[in-house]
Structure 1
Amino acid sequence: MVEIKTPEQIAKMREAGLVVAAIHEATRKAAVPGATTRDLDEAARKVIAEHGATSNFLGYGGFPATICTSVNEVVVHGIPDEKTVLKDGDLISIDCGAIVDGWHGDAAYTAFVGEGHSPELIELSRVTEESMWAGIAAMKPGGRLVDVSRAIEAYIRRQPRPGGGKYGIVQDYGGHGIGSAMHMEPHVLNYVERRRGRGPKLVPGLCLAIEPMVSLGTPRTRVLEDEWTVVTTDGTWSSHWEHSIALTESGPFVLTSPDGGAAKLAELGVAVAPDPLG
């Protein structure tokens, strides 16, 4: 079942989304050379407590932390700890969420630690982020879920990779519905798989977490012995970007972006819907 939200419920999700945005701001500042990934988790815990929210990551399926910290070849679900010390040139993806009055927000971003990043890494993050926005722009009333997947894949496939070769669109993980739970139907692929058909209709009240994950090599992954950390099978580095979006009669509204996605969507010729909080 796909959960369709009322305007009042979407407003609560916007509150949760703004907490997630605050976590992103705090962890960006904390992601500096010499910091441990546990330091970033502590920064996130502080923000959640200050806003009177609850973490939807901590304890989820036994996950032991408030955020996921995925460094370099780690694609997703990296566990913060005191042993992982960030250094110049690292690439880190931070995924986090929050709950307000039972309603969820979830978003991720990729950050550059210190200096010394190659043009290839900078372009990897840019391509991943822009493919996410292409998927968000494709959320239009009357469309189908496959329109989102197609927009993400098409954007990535059009981008030349510095040094040659193709980007790997991670196959085993994707986006999802979100609302009264963090992970809900429908599953949102970051590529088109024809056997799945067109998917459900995009209707007002539908909320999705759109999250492409892209590597510099293979689309294949494996899970480490901790049963959480996901890495590329060939050791190539990856990027992960995500936002939670509500579809309204007026179009998409990005619940986890401070401006609702207005600036980026304007670049794509899409008008952002009114803020659910007014």
Structure 2
Amino acid sequence: MATQSLHWGFVVIVFLAILSLQASASTDAPDVIALQDLYKALNNPPQLKKWRLDGGDPCGESWTGVSCAGASVIHLKLQGLNLSGFLGTQLHFLHSLKHLDVSSNYIVGEIPYALPPNATHINLAYNNLSQSIPLSLPSVELLRHLNLSHNSLSGPVGNVFTGLQNLKEIDLSYNNFTGDLPSSFGSLTNLTKLNNQFTGSVVYLATLPLTDLNIQTNHFSGVIPTQFQLIPNLWIDGNQFHLGDNYPAWNYPLDNGSLWTKF
């Protein structure tokens, strides 16, 4: 009798353990909805192993490119998978997502208006995205790294960087942006790296604590801010800058791999 009791006790423990594992593997419903929508928008690509349009458990079933913490999707890394189609409309349901990387694919269309609200890293580079940066970008308040380079984005950027105090690196290069540098760049007090293509003055960059600034081959004009001499890695040739009256001697070290051409 005692042996039977021990046996059933062991069965119950194993059963409860299985239930516990199943519960911990179950993905949050909004995350599942977002990934299903993305899968459909990307034309159900076979390279996204285990992804499906109905049901499924992205965290428990280890869907391609999906990393989780508990029941929440925290990383979505789908770079270089020859994906085509669009980014869908439900990425904002990924409330716990920190890293979104769909770079080096063939994705077209607009950047979704609503992005994962708590993302810190967004990399959409090397695709065929069009239109411009969504005006909702300031709602991604924790954003630290943004790479939208090598796309077909166009038009004026607008003041989409207001309030993004955590933003440290931006790459907007190799697009078709027009117009001047938006004034909201002046509020990016933690920005250290910037690659972009704009026109007009660079006055909004003068007081930022930049360590990397690449604005080569644009249509910038006006006086080169004297503060640029303090930027360790600087590329500014191929513009229409000039040195202002009483401009101090340019003592920038040319032997650290940086490039500057006197105009």
State whether TM-score is above 0.5: no
TM-score range normalised by the length of the shorter chain = under 0.3
> Which is bigger in relative contact order (C-alpha 8 A, separation at least 6)?
1
Q: TM-score scaled to structure 2, two decimals?
A: 0.24
Structure holding more helix per residue:
1
Structure of larger gyration radius:
2
